[in-house]
Chain A
Amino acid sequence: MTDIGNSPAFKPGPNAKLGDIVRHAMPWSSKMKLPGATPFEFLAAIFLVLLVLVALFVDFIPGLVSPKLPYGDFSQLPEWSLNGLFGTDDIGRSIFSRVLYGARTSMMIVAVSTTIALVSGLLLGMLAGYYRGIFERAVDLFANALAAMPSTLVVLAFVAVTGPSVVTIIVVLGIFDIGTYARVAKAGVISQSNRDYVLAARAMGATDSRVLLKEILPNLIPALTAVMPTLMAGLIITEGSLSFLGYGIPAPAPSWGGMIASSTDLLSRFPVLIVGPILAIVLTVYAFNTIGDYLAQRLNNRERES
């Protein structure tokens, strides 16, 4: 099959749409399984994949200097080289290297907090939705209490006790997302429980745990996948604000929020030095939200079809 975008005759003219350019530049894009994705959603997906790859393999990028050791003069302006791409910070470290290593920090927090929140939220939400009654009231109370508290302030309170610590931040942020996952899981279980297939499974003699795990759980995954990216974006923002306030990831570990905080002094003289970490946060949050919208949209379409 010859791809239209792959044909040599194609030249992106002034009126070419972004989608055409994407297809031309990345002919394999049509093979990715993102049906109905707009070019922005497609780029967001690629960005997130790259981000995860960077977080996993940043140590193996050839020529990248350590994020913790000085690399050049203090506050060097950006130049066209790998390590100098975003300039250097107030003690001469490569900002580009720190942005890449900061991705690892952010992705680690996102991954672990989300796992904590997802597993506990699913468990609570499924029990609440299936058995209702006292379970449901307890889980609702818990979720409402969490929603009523500003997460940043609560993390600050905990950090004030434990001192700046990655574990504290991860656990507290994870707990804060339990409420949302529990709500989504609960609503899903309630709506699925009314469907005849659950009744049919019980008529076949299925136990409660079989009904919940084998019948209902697989049907909750789409809804959970749709809320997950938005919550992940929230985690990155909260972690950024915490580090900006100085209560986040302890120095000298690189973190996007912390980098913004440390370059505020230079802001009046070299505002360009703050571009790297800001770009990282903005693009990541944008990508997560875009993918979240895309998944939610797909979910709605599928619901309407069935």
Chain B
Amino acid sequence: MSSDIALNDEIILEVRNLSVSFSRGGKEMKAVDDVSFSVAAGETLGLVGESGSGKTTIGRAILRLLPDANTKSEGAVRYKKTYLNTLSSTDMRHMRDRLQMIFQDPLSSFNPRRNVEDIVAEGLVIQGKPASERKSRVEAALSAVGFDLATVAGRKPHQFSGGQCQRIAIARSLAVEPELIVCDEPVASLDVSVQAQVINLLQDIRENRNLALIFISHDLAVVKNVSDRVAVLYMGRIVEIGTGPQIYERPAHPYTRTLLEAVPVVDATRKIEPDGKRTVMPSRNRPQGGCAFRSRCPRATQICAETVPAVTPAPRGQMVACHHPHDEPAPGMAVRTQR
């Protein structure tokens, strides 16, 4: 079975040929370039990539949260039977209780002048739910993340720690009972000990409610722990997408391998030789022809400069966009993680 298709047949979100470009001062920057993937009910898809690889833009494009000005997006986003990208803004608002988002910095994702219970209830207020139902659902959502409404009521966001804020943010998303949550770097701003707590909480909730998650992160280790499937992004394109073991144990794309090599591992016997030569990031405004990674790729040949590699099945079952895919065990962290 090709890994481009979600793990089971009940696909709830499908993204086809999504491209997003931002323009500023006459220059155009392609943030997301021809990206396609799908997510099944109850599945977690990890999106990894370096800064500027388009992870966040993809998440926001799915939820139609990108600014209208200076933004151009193409392609289709289908949620169940609805094409989100063609909905009117009113119809899109009615879909929003099913698609939610969790942000990187929980504190800044709360209005500083609101009480916690009002923050959690906000989605329900917008939906026009009666006050009695709001209260019970807020209470349920808060208790799902380990808070008691009576003890947190009346407190402002800044009175909570980062981890607590992120749990409140999760409660806010859960209150409207969504089917898919886009988690945009949900643990990047938290301490490592708190990260595990929040991730475990997300996992529990996902299993209990059959939630689909799109988990955006630059942290390969975090993504490995939470994701059923992983998509690796480079310069707005998916370079490799497959199940966790496929990606982490037998990465086919040279970029994925570079990323895995860069993950720090506590192992004194392991020495990493730095790359022979330093490479320059190519310009985003005037992209080079062919494969975007070729200027940094040890395997690049003539064909890489001529043709953009299409996403094709790799030997181990994942999908990869490379003319010269690898087929050997992964370097770095995978050595430790293979069992």
Contact = CB atoms under 8 A, between A and B. Distances in A.
Interface of A: 132-133, 195-197, 199-207, 210, 215, 218-219, 306
B138 to A, nearest CB: 13
Interface string B63-87: 1010001000000000000000000
Interface in B26-70: 60, 63, 65, 69
B103 A205 contact: no
Task: Find the residue from A203, A215, A306 having the highest chain B CB count within 10 A.
Answer: A203
B197 interface: no
Contacts of B122: 201, 204, 206
Contacts of B109: 195-197, 199-200
A203 B65 contact: yes
Interface of B: 60, 63, 65, 69, 93-94, 96-97, 99-101, 103-105, 108-113, 122-123, 126-127, 158, 169, 172, 176
Nearest to A302: B112
Contacts of B69: 132-133
B65 A204 contact: no
Contacts of B172: 200, 204
Given A132-B69, A200-B109, 4 more contacts: A197-B108, A197-B112, A203-B101, A204-B122
Contact of A207 (B93, B101, B103, B176): B93
B100 A203 contact: yes
The residue in B105, B126, B169 that gathers the most chain A C-beta atoms within 10 A of its C-beta is B126
B105 A199 contact: no
Contact of B97 (A205, A218, A219): A205
7 contacts: A196-B103, A196-B108, A199-B65, A204-B126, A205-B93, A205-B96, A206-B122
B278 to A, nearest CB: 33
Contacts of A199: 60, 65, 101, 103, 109
B162 to A, nearest CB: 14
A148 B112 CA distance: 37
B63 A203 contact: yes
A124 B10 CA distance: 48
Nearest to A218: B113
Contacts of A200: 101, 103, 109-110, 169, 172
B4 to A, nearest CB: 27
A181 B31 CA distance: 36
Contacts of B99: 203
A222 B126 CA distance: 26
Nearest to A194: B108
Contact of A205 (B110, B127, B169): B127
B26 to A, nearest CB: 16
Contacts of B112: 197, 219, 306
Contacts of A203: 63, 65, 96, 99-101
A91 B122 CA distance: 66
